[in-house]
Each structure stands twice: as structure tokens, then as C-alpha cells.
Amino acid sequence: MRKYQTTHLLMFIAIVFSALLIASATAQAESIPNEVPRPERMQNDLVSEGEAAELPADVGVAAAVSASSCGPLNNVMAVAAGGYHTCALLGDGTVRCWGYNGDGQLGDGTTTYRITPATVSGLSGATAVAAGYSHTCALLGDGTVRCWGDNDSGRLGDGTTTDRTTPVTVSLPLSATAVAAGGAHTCARLTDGTVRCWGSNSFGQLGVGTTTYYRTTPVRVSGLSGATAVAAGGAHTCALLGDGTVRCWGRNDYGQLGDGTTTDRSTPVTVSLPLSATAVAAGHFHTCALLGNGTVRCWGWNDYGQLGDGTTTQRNTPVTVSLPLSATAVAAGRYHTCALLGDGTVRCWGSNFYGQLGDGTLTDRNTPMMVSGLSGATAVAAGVEHTCARLDDSTVRCWGWNGFGQLGDGTTTQRNTPVTVSLPLSATAVAAGGYHTCALLGDGTVRCWGWNRYGQLGDGTINPRLTPVTVSLPLSATAVAAGVYHTCALLGDGTVRCWGDNWSGQLGDGTINPRLTPVTVSLPLSATAVAAGVYHTCALLGDGTVRCWGDNWSGQLGDGTTTYYRSTPVTVSLPLSATAVAAGAFHTCARLTDGTVRCWGSNSFGQLGDGTTTQRNTPVTVSLPLSATAIAAGGAHTCALLGDGTVRCWGWNEDGQLGDGTTIDRRTPVTVSLPLSATAVAAGVYHTCALLGDGTVRCWGANWYGQLGNGDPIYATQPVVVVRTFFSVFIPISRRP
């Protein structure tokens, strides 16, 4: 057996992004028991304005939950509680939702109820989230608003009344700065201080001076300017203005507009408050405001004590809530209210039929009660019959009714004290280095495990770890790449951080000092992708250029030299912008915008695909018959996924890693013998895998450690089916003979 180019390669075991294995993990189903009966009055008022659809009588339907192990949902920036669902905004700008999904309000493309968080499909860059009775909306960083779920009365604002299971864009004339979702209507505050509303208008809750049944696109609230916040209730709306006044409009039969009457209003009226307000919250038939002195005033319906004044008397002007400390936030549910106090505790009052007050009982309260066992809260949200709080450790706790899994703890069990929202700790990407492995989790954190002699695990130590440890990153990551002794992550802000061994400058921080925690790579622009070879690293930048750094003995940095190493990035000489980059052991390849593939660096086995074995320190074109859509670089071989779904490979083939049925090295691409079109490809040192259109994975090449996953240790020169749905980490204790 031929000895490979250098003994360093023998330590470069299984550099492969195995995300295409975990991408096929399936969900298991779990039945939800029938809904607990509500009090008669609660049931009658559930959709009393005649706008929101009644929940089905038989709710014994299936709810999806990941088969992965669960842990706390963390990195949460904000939480919103809707009718019977809950949503959280994560630090990476994505939104996760859970609970009832009969109208698609979870936004995951289905109408399947979820008892653990599901990611909203196709949504990124969110800065705020709002949950209505049966629909949800998110405000994005570019000022657009996107909504999904029930679209009866046009509450999604897309000009139709078609329900949507994934987000659609609201037709707004200007950028929005806030969004609020009510019973069957939605409102947004725009950058000019005006408010636009859409959806049901049977009580004048859109504020346009009429009670025209509904609007499917936004209309401007009449006579309102200088708004700083907006809140949407069951069938009424309120806005906080820049001068601290609160103005409300819509339904008013219980005095929820706070103007001293019970007359519905189709244009805004001023609430009679003694001081300037700093926040406003709208419940089903009541409203509350947080004043500048930290007190809370509430008004409207009070049969369950939701006004918190020690009575059950309806009020058409604000009354003071009996709180022991100053409040910093207020949230209004259907028939209950909660306040976040300055000491990080939460007090709730009103209806407690399902434990939504969180005090360990089911007793209604007309004065605030402390939520049991909860401290360090930074935000609170109230749904129809459940409540949630975000804590200072970025986790979320919920309590109350859980018939649709809206508490997110993986059950449908009602809770009268807080439980932690759980999230399947499923990885979205994984990278295998020489003797360590790293995974990018759905919450944007990176966890690493294995050998740590050079700090490649990024936890500030050199201790080996048998279980994953969290890398000390300042922001959420979007990609991870592992070299033989170093690791790099692409962060949400476009920077690249690297850690571990740095003797060839592969960390890109201008030194050759090893780093136990991530350091920033000196890049001139934001990166969109990162790839790690044995001792070199490359990044694809936002302008389509590729920058590489680290070991350059074989010209793998592509800058026209074989200068020993570069400790800061150098530009690869490419004729066009690149769209992808892949790093092999001692060579690198890029896919360009025209679909061609260019490679450079070591070429001893033809891994550059140019028909020679000549080393190249600038990119050469691979001889491909069609445009490539993806590329993968192994130890000394390379593969491309073409536009027709075929996979072509070239380079070293001693173990059959080219998949053409031989062990002959190839200097130009050969076709892999696949039965179906492929959708992704990944390359290890001595083996290759492809994800096919039917969701199966086929692998070929070396198999002495079982890396083909077919239960047979014999190498394969043609693709074999992976027969395991699980895989384990193997840290080799000896080198290949």
C-alpha cells in the first residue's frame, strides 16, 4: 500500500461534514389527550366576537416531537404567547414555535401540533415576534413584517384570506419598527410613527373610522401619529404615543378602551391616565399600562380579577394594581395579567383555571400572586390560558394549560408552576477533525469533544473531553469547520473565529501561537463560508473572493507562491466570484458563479482534476461536463455534485473513494455509480458519501473504521447504502497500517 504524501495525513482522520446523515433523522408521534373542559363562560367567550375559528371538539390528534435528547431552549431574546401556541425569538434571528398548529400558526410548513419547539420555515433576521389567537407575525431586521397561520379576515396582510403554514410578507408602505397580533387582526408601527392595521374590523379595531368587516392589506389608523408602541387585544387596539399618552380603539363593551364609556370606537380615544405610560398590554376584554413610576393601571372586564385591584368589578377607567414593588413590564392574557417586577420576579392575577398564574394552585386571584420558583426573569408573555417568562440565562419557563404542548416541555400536562421549555439538541452541522469533533446546534452554539492537546475544543483548556463542551463564542455561529488540530466557526455577523493549533498560522490572527479559545481572523469583509484543511483554512467572502491562510508548502493558499505559511489571509487568484469553497488535506477547490470548479495545491494523485499530477499554486479548471452545484474535498480526492444530480470524483482512489468501481487514481472526473440523483456530497480522507433524492445516504471508499455505515468493514469501490440511523464518535488510538 502506497504511503501517502506526508505522515500528517494519517492524523487527518475523517474530515467530513456529516450533516447529511443527521439531516434524515425522523420525528416520532405522540398522542395528545382530549382538551380539559372549560368553565361555561370561558367557552362561550372563546370566540365571542365571531372572528376566530372555534377549536375542534376532538383534539386527540398527533403532535410531533423530535426523537433527539432534549435540553433547555436557550439563546432566547424574546418570547410571545398566543392563543394556544408560543413562539421564541432566538439570538440568531430565527423563530421557534410550539403548541397548537391547526391553522399553521407555528410556521413550520405543517398543521401538526408540536410539544417541543419547531423552527419557522424560511425565516431569518427576525428582531421581534408577536403571537395572536391563531396567527403569528415577525418583524425582520430590514423592517418588513412576515405573518403566518390563520388568515380568516385577512389578518396576515398579504391581500388574501388564505391560511399560510409558512411566512408571507405584509404589504407595508414603509419599514416597521413594531408588530402586534390580536384576536383576528394585526397592527404595525411604522418608522414615521404611524400605525397600520389589517384583518377583522367588526368593532372598529383597525381604527379607520368604519366597521367595514375586514381588510386584507394594511390601512392607516386615523388621526394617530407619534406612536412608539402598539398592542392588539381580542377586538381592540391601543397605541402608546411619544408623549406617554395611551390611545385605544375598537370594542369597548367592558370599558377596555379606558375612556370612561362602554361605547365602541372606530378611531382612537385617549385613556384617562394620571401619569405618562411606558408600556401598554391588551388582553381579550381588558387593557393594562405600565406607568413611568413603575405602577400598573388596568381597566375593562374584571370577572376573574384580571384588573388586580382586589375586586371583580368591571372598570371603564384605569385602576391601580396592588403590586409590592415597581414593575418593569406588563403582559395581558385572555382573562389574566402578569407583571415583571424590578427584582426579577413575576406576579400574576386573574383567571387561574389552568394554573396560568403559576402560584401552584388553580384558584382565581384578584390581587397579584408571585409565580412560584421563578427568579431572574427579564420578560413575560401571557397567552390565552398560559404564561411564559424569559430568564436572564436566556432560557424560557412556561406554565398553565398545555393541551396542545404550548408549554414546550415535551408533554401535554397542565402545569401550575413554571417548567423549562425544552428543545431537541439536534445539530444542524457537524465537522470532524483529526481527533476531535464539533457540532453546530440549532441555537447557534458550537459544542466540541475529543482530543484537546492544542485547545481545538475551544473551551479554554487542553483537557480531552468525552462529552461535548461549549465553545466560548461571542455570537451565534452559522457554520463550523475542523482541521487536524484546529477549528473555525463562521458567526452570524460574518466574522470567522478560529482556535487550537496555529504553528502554520492556520488561525489567521497574525501569529503562530496556539489558542485555547476563539480568536478573530483578520478578514477585510464579512465571510459567508469557511473550510479547514490539515493545516490551512479558507473563507469565502461576501464579495465572492476567497481568502486562505496557514500552511502553503503545496501552494494550497492559491496566491501564486509556496511561501512556507501565511498567518493572515491572502487572496486566491480567481477569474470570477466564487460561491463555495472546500479544503482538502493539502489542496483547495472553489465553485465559481459560472458553475465551473477551480482547484489548487497538491496534485500528486490528480486531485486538482486538470489531467495532470502537477502541483499548482494558482487555480486550474477541473474538466467537468456540466455546471457543478456543490463541491467536497477529501484527503487527496475531490468530488462535485453536478446540475443533473450526478456526482463526479477525481484524485486518489486506492480505497475506492472515487466510487467508479475501481481503485485506479483519476486525474479527471469520473462518474460515481449512483442509482438516483444526489442532493449533497461530503468527502472524508479516504471515503465519500452522498445524500440521494429519496433521503437515503450512500457511501464508498475505505471502511476499516466502519465509516461507510453498512455494517461491513470491507472497503467499497461503489456506493453502498448506509443502514444505520445513528452514528457514534470514534477516536482512533492507532494509525492506519
What is the average pLDDT score of the chain?
A: 85
Per-residue confidence band for 726, with pLDDT thresholds at 50, 70 and 90: very low
Q: What is the pLDDT of residues 67-114, one digit of tens each?
A: 233 456 667 888 999 999 999 998 888 999 999 999 999 999 999 998
The owner of cell 427584582 is 343
Higher pLDDT, 351 or 73: 351
Q: Is residue 711 predicted with pLDDT exceeding 80?
A: no
Per-residue confidence band for 449, with pLDDT thresholds at 50, 70 and 90: confident
Please state the rounded mean pLDDT for residues 248-266. Answer: 97
Per-residue confidence band for 47, with pLDDT thresholds at 50, 70 and 90: very low
- pLDDT for 192 equals 93
Would you kindly state where each structural domain of the chain is located, as residue ranges?
8-20+426-721, 273-378
Q: Which of 8-22, 75-89, 406-420, 516-530 has the lowest mean pLDDT?
A: 8-22
Among 1.10.3720.10, 3.40.190.10, 2.130.10.30, 3.90.850.10, what is the CATH number of 8-20+426-721? 2.130.10.30
Give the whole-angstrom CA distance, residue 725 versus residue 27. 12
Please state the rounded mean pLDDT for residues 319-336. Answer: 95
Q: Largest Cα–Cα distance in the chain?
A: 92
Per-residue confidence band for 729, with pLDDT thresholds at 50, 70 and 90: very low
Radius of gyration of the chain from Cα atoms?
A: 29
Q: Is residue 730 predicted with pLDDT exceeding 80?
A: no
E strand segments, 251-370 = 265-270, 277-282, 286-291, 296-300, 315-320, 327-332, 336-341, 346-350, 365-370
* 518: nearest Cα among 547, 539, 488: 488
Torsion sign (Cα): 338, 156, 250, 225:
positive
* 182: nearest Cα among 167, 158, 201: 201
- pLDDT for 709 equals 75
Q: How far is CA 569 from CA 315, 363, 480, 507, 655, in A?
A: 67, 65, 18, 10, 34
Higher pLDDT, 588 or 484: 588
- pLDDT for 332 equals 94
Give the whole-angstrom CA distance, residue 150 versus residue 430. 36
Confirm whether 8-20+426-721 and 273-378 share one CATH topology.
yes
Higher pLDDT, 141 or 15: 141
Q: What is the pLDDT of residues 277-290, one digit of tens each?
A: 999 999 999 999 99
CA angle 184, 185, 186 (to 5 degrees): 140
Q: What is the pLDDT of residues 359-376, one digit of tens each?
A: 999 999 999 999 999 999
Q: Looking at the structure, give the CATH architecture of the domain made up of residues 273-378.
A: 7 Propeller (2.130)
Per-residue confidence band for 683, with pLDDT thresholds at 50, 70 and 90: confident
Q: What is the pLDDT of residues 529-566, one digit of tens each?
A: 999 998 999 999 999 999 999 999 999 999 999 988 99
Q: Which three cell numbers stand for residue 297?
A: 393601571
Per-residue confidence band for 666, with pLDDT thresholds at 50, 70 and 90: very high
Please state the rounded mean pLDDT for residues 663-671. Answer: 96
Q: What is the DSSP string of 499-533?
A: EE--TTSTT-SSS---EEEEEE---SS-EEEEEE-
Q: Which three cell numbers stand for residue 109?
A: 410548513
- pLDDT for 45 equals 36
The structure's pTM equals: 0.56
